[in-house]
């Protein structure tokens, strides 16, 4: 697979570094959607003030959820393929630089 990726990117003799995806400071969970708003509220209540990434299936859901979280006082921003490169870069930089808690 690594060779395939390097080939698709047209890399000539790339240096390939392989590391573990295990990040002890991160928590990964997949939950069946039962009551979305309650589930999000529960997670945010368990991790107050901590950064988080919320994945949505549709772009419209990203925009709606980030707007709702902002209205409720959270520092949240959208990030999806329908945004311009500059909009995505601003959201990502804001998250990385602690100006956003949720993306």
Specify if 40 maps to a domain.
yes
Query: Could you list the residue range(s) of the whole structural domain that residue 80 is in?
Result: 23-96
Residue with tokens 């080939």: 7
d(CA 48, CA 32): 22
Specify if 14 maps to a domain.
no
Among 83, 29, 81, smallest CA distance to 57 is for: 81
**Residue 79 neighbours by CB under 8 Å, 6+ apart:** 62, 88, 91, 92, 95, 103
Express each pLDDT in 32-90 by its tens digit. 888 988 999 999 999 998 999 999 989 999 999 999 999 999 999 999 999 999 999 99
Specify if 101 maps to a domain.
no
| CATH code of residue 37 | 3.40.50.300
Among 39, 49, 97, 38, smallest CA distance to 73 is for: 49
**Count of domains for the chain:** 1
Specify if 81 maps to a domain.
yes
pTM above 0.85, yes or no: no
Give the helix ranges, DSSP H, for 1-103: 2-8, 36-46, 59-71, 85-96
Specify if 32 maps to a domain.
yes
Specify if 62 maps to a domain.
yes
Specify if 67 maps to a domain.
yes
């Amino acid at each position: 697979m690594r060779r395939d990726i390097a080939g698709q990117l047209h890399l000539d003799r790339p240096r390939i570094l392989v590391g573990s995806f295990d990040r002890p400071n991160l928590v990964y969970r997949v939950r069946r959607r039962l009551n979305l708003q309650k589930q999000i509220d529960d997670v945010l209540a368990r991790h107050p003030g901590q950064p988080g990434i919320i994945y949505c299936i549709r772009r419209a859901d990203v925009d709606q959820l980030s707007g709702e979280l902002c209205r409720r006082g959270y520092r949240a921003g959208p990030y999806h393929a329908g945004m311009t490169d500059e909009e995505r870069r601003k959201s990502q930089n804001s998250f990385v630089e602690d100006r956003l808690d949720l993306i």
